[in-house]
Amino acid sequence: MYEELESDVVIIGGGLAGLNAAIAAGERDGSVIVVEKGNVKRSGCIAGGVDHFMAYLNQNDEWDTEESFLSYVKKLSYGVVNLKIHRKVFCDELKEAITRMEKIGNPLYGKDGRFFRTQSYGAPGPYWINFNGKNLKPKLARYARKVGCETFNRTIPVKILKNHNRVAGIIAFNYRDEMFYFIKSRAVLIATGNTNRLFETPTGMPFNTWLCPYNTGDGQALAFNAGAKLANMEFVRMTVVPKGFSAPGLNAFVGLGARFINSNREYFMERYHELGDRAPRNVLVYACLNEIREGRGPIYLDCTEIPEDRLKHLVKTLALDKDTLPDFFESKKIDISKEFIEISVSEGMQAGPSEVVGSGIKIDENCMSSIDGLFAAGDCSDQMRCVHMAVTGGYAAGKNALDYARNAKSSGSVKKEEIRHAIDEFLKPLSISNGISYIEFEDVLRKIMAEHVGPFRTESGLRAGIRKLESLKEDADQLMASDGHELLRVYESKNLLTVGMIMAHAALFRRESRFIPYHYRLDFPNSDNERWCGQVVVYKDGETIRCEFEKITY
């Protein structure tokens, strides 16, 4: 019925954070199994490439130091960021991470040996290194294999198994050959990214998303159902995208000098933030929403005044983050050097409210969750966000997970009845012949989330949304599947519902606004640092979602 395996560390998710974690354990002669939903060569949010990495380099500028960077982190994510964790898993790992990027064959510097740095998102200086990460994922995958990591592609985690409050392993399912595995391990590391496909997209196409549409909150739901605490889950993150095309790339545009302009031909960002077009991302999004709401839309990006050398660099690197973005401009006959690019606000997603703090599984300084032996890294954790922390924090988490596995006592045995029961529950959709398709289910879920848990929130709206989501839980039991691939989609749909429920409860609990519009309570429109400087922590109590508040003191 299932194959039994054993490993020092099991890593769920073979994206940027997951592979860096695998490499960390593999380089230390640990046995590592990576369970990946897609294929580790091209999976996760940077499957098609990436063009930016945030770092301080200590190059004699006042802003370019560890302490200045941490001050920026505090300012950008005040109220939800834990600076002790950032110092431990980013600052302590950064120098080695930059060297490691070179070692795997994807240095952050250009052919001239220099770092190309830009300034954006509220930074006091050009922290963003613009680099060619087009083939970063296959290079990471190749290096992970070199250090002995074993990979199970097209495989999803069904359940985390515990013995008391300690990890004992996982059950996994390959949806191609429909094989189950029980992987026994003292350390499990989740690195499944943020949650997309949860809100309606501007195009109406659920898989045309800003970031990877296959990141469906699997790790967050898995950890939550196992009893782990989650944090910062109330934030609905959005960005600015070309109208009709959900593509990453905003960092490159604003970092290289693009400016926002409304239909009145006014450059308007200075009205919203002292840094204007280089303001934090949430300010850029809110400003665009507000300009449209007040009748000054549509909104455009103006690249026509960018200096020629920087414009050439921008055009040259447009495809590093999204292969088809230049094709989109070409098909629309848009010459960005001569005309404006019409933009819109993207769909929402569950993710950290800034480039320096995350949303998801609550971790400590060793990247461990509230469950002994369960670690998290990357965008599915509450303190890591974006490429720079997936690389540094992923590696730190991998080291710590292996150390824990080697030092921990045996986690004990798992009853075969528990494994069989979990497998039987997972397979139930195959026995439903006249049920609900995942497509219909997710369409309803996205409408509820957009109407009630989107960027403009009220108590009555959130409560109504929670009631609707609760009723949708009953429909989840009627989701049907005819094969392994459809089982995967049903699994994703259920995880999306779990994350949506958690977001709604956390947003209702936080009675203030913070990082507008990512958590914008119209009935509590101001930030309240006296009572709400800290994290909303969410956990499962039986079948009930509980919220509590943990104060952060700076």
Domains of the chain: 3-236+350-407 (3.50.50.60), 239-346 (3.90.700.10), 416-548 (1.20.58.100)
Q: What is the enclosing helix (H) or strand (E) of 541? A: strand 534-541
Residue 237 is classified by DSSP as E
β-bridge pairing 3-6 and 179-184: parallel
Nearest alpha-carbon partner for 275 in 386, 125, 130, 385: 125
- DSSP three-state, residue 490: helix
Q: What is the enclosing helix (H) or strand (E) of 550? A: strand 544-551
Beta strands in 294-393 (DSSP E): 299-302, 341-345, 349-350, 360-361, 374-376
- Longest alpha-carbon distance in the chain: 68
Here the contacts of 285-293 (C-beta below 8 Å, separation 24 or greater) are: 285/238, 285/239, 285/240, 285/345, 285/517, 285/518, 286/516, 286/517, 286/520, 287/260, 288/240, 288/260, 288/343, 288/344, 288/345, 289/345, 289/455, 289/517, 291/262
Q: CA–CA separation, 186 vs 6, rounded Å?
A: 9
Contact 357, 232 (CB under 8 A): yes
- Give the model's pLDDT for residue 508: 98
Neighbour-count burial of 543, counting CB atoms closer than 10 A to its CB (0-12 exposed, 13-18 middle, 19+ buried): exposed
DSSP assignment string, 145-191 = HHTT-EEETTEEEEEEEEETTEEEEEEEEETTTTEEEEEE-SEEEE-
- Give the model's pLDDT for residue 319: 77
How many beta carbons lie within 10 A of that of residue 219, not counting itself? 32
Contact 269, 301 (CB under 8 A): no
Mind listing the pLDDT tens digit of every residue in the chain (554 residues)?
799 999 999 999 999 999 999 999 999 999 999 999 999 999 999 999 999 999 999 998 999 999 999 999 999 999 999 999 999 999 999 999 999 999 999 999 999 999 999 999 999 999 999 999 999 999 999 999 999 999 999 999 999 999 988 999 999 999 999 999 999 999 999 999 999 999 999 888 999 888 899 999 999 999 999 999 999 999 999 999 999 888 778 888 999 899 999 999 999 999 999 999 999 999 999 999 999 999 999 999 999 999 998 988 888 888 777 778 888 888 889 899 999 999 999 999 999 999 999 999 999 999 999 999 999 999 999 999 999 999 999 999 999 999 999 999 776 789 999 999 999 999 999 999 999 999 999 999 999 999 999 999 999 999 999 999 999 999 999 999 999 999 999 999 999 999 999 999 999 999 999 999 999 999 999 999 999 999 999 999 999 999 999 999 99
Q: CA–CA separation, 514 vs 549, rounded Å?
A: 15
Question: Which residues are CB-neighbours of 417 under 8 A, at least 6 positions away?
Answer: none
- DSSP three-state, residue 117: strand
Q: Find where tokens 């431990």 sit.
A: 88
Q: CA–CA separation, 321 vs 333, rounded Å?
A: 20
- Give the model's pLDDT for residue 411: 65
Beta strands in 7-70 (DSSP E): 9-12, 32-35, 52-54
Stated pTM of the model: 0.96
* Ramachandran angles phi, psi of 301, nearest 5°: -105, 130
